[in-house]
A and B are shown apart, each in its own frame.
Chain A
Amino acid sequence: MRKILTTIGLALFGLYQLAGFVETMSDGNGPFREATGNYYWPARWKMFTNISWSHTVMDFEGWDDGEWVRLPMEEWYPAHWESGYRWERTPVYKYRTLQLPFLAAACEHADMPRVRLMQRSWNKKLGQREEPRGDVREKVLRVRECSDELALPAGKVL
């Protein structure tokens, strides 16, 4: 009986892992998710898949005396990982709703009328540590008026 239960348990575990593989290959929109929901992300693994020819940095800037000046977000929010600071994660580039909380946090520290989030990228050069930031491509991702309030998760307001 115990062996039968173990076999059933292992089969279910294997099926879940298989679902994770299928969902990875379907970019998270595969048949398992469609049938049951987004429950397979713990078994989805995607590492270093895409080619990336450019470096990207995210800069926060505040409007001060008629010009944009760089804000030291890394001093205000020093936690970072091997993937960089929190605002350097890909979802922040992609989703405007994720940019707002970081801009609101910048407002809280900066004491300036408005702040903006800049995306700057430049081409990688193989074999080089220090990349000269030549031909930097700039993009204003979002500007925020600091007079606006923003409710954060669990009701915190900035």
Chain B
Amino acid sequence: MKWLEPEVHPGWAWARIGWAVSALMTWIPRSTHVAETYSTDGILVSIGPVRLTESVMFSPAAAWSLYAVILIGVVLVGLGRAPWLTRLGLLIAPPAMLALGFHEGLNFKAYDRLLCWEAMALFVAPGAASGRHEGSPAGRYMMTMIFMCLYASTGWMKIVKEPRWWSGVPLATDLVHRQFGMKPLGIWMSEQMWLLKPMSWVTLIFEGGWPLLILIRQVRPWLLLIGASFHIGVLALMDANTFTFVALAAYPVLLPPAQFTWLRDRAAGLLKRQ
């Protein structure tokens, strides 16, 4: 079982810090409406696959306490002082995120779920994702499987359910979506079909092909560079909140250690030359 040989992967430290930063970026802005959205003060509906509010509804104090648990847990993960402290953070923050998320069933976002999935992979990573400890690569495989499912699902849904994606038109309408779009560059781009068509093709091929392409060693770094550009593009053109940051946080460990260090050193060399 050579594929399960222990490894040291410095990318885990990047992924851990990236996860903590993106989790804080997601949750700190929610401080303005904790009581309204997560407690008896404002909960109006019970919806979603886990209808927690049908059995328990948090008081404002309980909602604030859980919110504090999230922030403490995330900070523990970000600091990474000791593996046991990081694991403690990863044990307490995601359940608290889920508990509050289930209370606001209408808004359980993709990036909230992705944060929880990534936390599982960080938890099993060597030395709780210290980046220095040697250990099983299982966490890296988990992270890869999470993204295989994510990209394959969103890509093949577009290919199968909305074939007009190949024309660039759905992307154009998304860019002027009242909530998710309306960024200045996106508004301008919504009329530039000569740009939107190739962008749509890249999106479909990237997302739909990701689960297979990531398995090809020579393609992997380039695939992730395209992925990074794709997510940065989403950030520039659309309002998907922190999805870009949550997704990119995992990228360092989607490469095996040797490829990660090669890419990191190459990027550092390029930066030095400039």
Residues of A whose CB lies within 8 Å of any CB of B are 3, 6-7, 9-10, 13-14, 17-18, 20-21, 24-25, 38, 41-53, 55-57, 77-79, 81-84, 86, 88-89, 91-92, 98, 101-102, 104-105, 124-129, 152-154, 156
Taking CB atoms and an 8 Å cut-off, the chain B residues in 99-125 that contact chain A are 104, 106-107, 109-110, 113, 116-117
A10, A82, A154: the one within 8 Å of B138 (CB): A10
Query: Could you list 28 examples of A-B contacts with CB < 8 Å?
Result: A3-B4, A17-B148, A18-B149, A21-B152, A21-B153, A45-B153, A45-B154, A48-B180, A50-B161, A51-B164, A78-B33, A79-B37, A79-B42, A82-B180, A86-B45, A89-B107, A91-B106, A102-B45, A105-B44, A126-B172, A126-B175, A128-B176, A152-B43, A153-B45, A153-B46, A153-B53, A153-B54, A154-B54
A44, A102, A154: the one within 8 Å of B153 (CB): A44
Bitwise, B225-241 to A at CB < 8 A (1) or not (0) is 00000000000000111
Residue of B nearest to A90 (CB): B106
Find out whether the CB atom of B47 lies under 8 angstroms from the CB atom of A25.
no
Find out whether the CB atom of A48 lies under 8 angstroms from the CB atom of B174.
yes
Find out whether the CB atom of B42 lies under 8 angstroms from the CB atom of A77.
yes
Q: In this assembly, does B190 line the interface, its C-beta being within 8 Å of a C-beta of chain A? A: yes
Find out whether the CB atom of B55 lies under 8 angstroms from the CB atom of A154.
yes
Query: Min CB distance, A72 to chain B, in Å?
Result: 15
Which chain A residues lie closer than 8 Å to B141 at the CB level?
A: 10
Given A78-B33, A128-B187, check contact A153 B161 (CB 8 Å). no
Which chain B residues lie closer than 8 Å to A45 at the CB level?
A: 110, 149-150, 153-154
Taking CB atoms and an 8 Å cut-off, the chain B residues in 120-153 that contact chain A are 136, 138, 141-142, 145-146, 148-150, 152-153
Indicate the member of A10, A18, A88 with the most B CB atoms within 10 Å: A10
Find out whether the CB atom of A154 lies under 8 angstroms from the CB atom of B53.
yes
Find out whether the CB atom of B154 lies under 8 angstroms from the CB atom of A46.
yes
Find out whether the CB atom of B162 lies under 8 angstroms from the CB atom of A50.
yes
Which chain A residues lie closer than 8 Å to B188 at the CB level?
A: 127
Give the docked Cα–Cα distance between A7 and B3 (Å).
Answer: 10
Give the docked Cα–Cα distance between A26 and B57 (Å).
Answer: 32
Which chain A residues lie closer than 8 Å to B37 at the CB level?
A: 79, 86
Bitwise, B152-186 to A at CB < 8 A (1) or not (0) is 11101110111010000111111111111010100
Indicate the member of A48, A77, A152 with the most B CB atoms within 10 Å: A48
Total count of chain B residues near the partner, CB < 8 A: 68
Give the docked Cα–Cα distance between A77 and B176 (Å).
Answer: 25
Find out whether the CB atom of B110 lies under 8 angstroms from the CB atom of A55.
no
Give the docked Cα–Cα distance between A24 and B211 (Å).
Answer: 15
Given A41-B49, A125-B176, A127-B191, check contact A83 B1 (CB 8 Å). no
Q: In this assembly, does B56 line the interface, its C-beta being within 8 Å of a C-beta of chain A? A: yes
Give the docked Cα–Cα distance between A104 and B57 (Å).
Answer: 18
Find out whether the CB atom of A82 lies under 8 angstroms from the CB atom of B240.
yes
Which chain B residues lie closer than 8 Å to A55 at the CB level?
A: 178
Find out whether the CB atom of A81 lies under 8 angstroms from the CB atom of B107.
yes
Residue of B nearest to A51 (CB): B170
Give the docked Cα–Cα distance between A124 and B175 (Å).
Answer: 11
Q: In this assembly, does B36 line the interface, its C-beta being within 8 Å of a C-beta of chain A? A: yes
Give the docked Cα–Cα distance between A84 and B179 (Å).
Answer: 6
Which chain A residues lie closer than 8 Å to B261 at the CB level?
A: none
Bitwise, B1-32 to A at CB < 8 A (1) or not (0) is 10010000000000000000000000000001
Query: Min CB distance, A144 to chain B, in Å?
Result: 13
Find out whether the CB atom of A154 lies under 8 angstroms from the CB atom of B4.
no
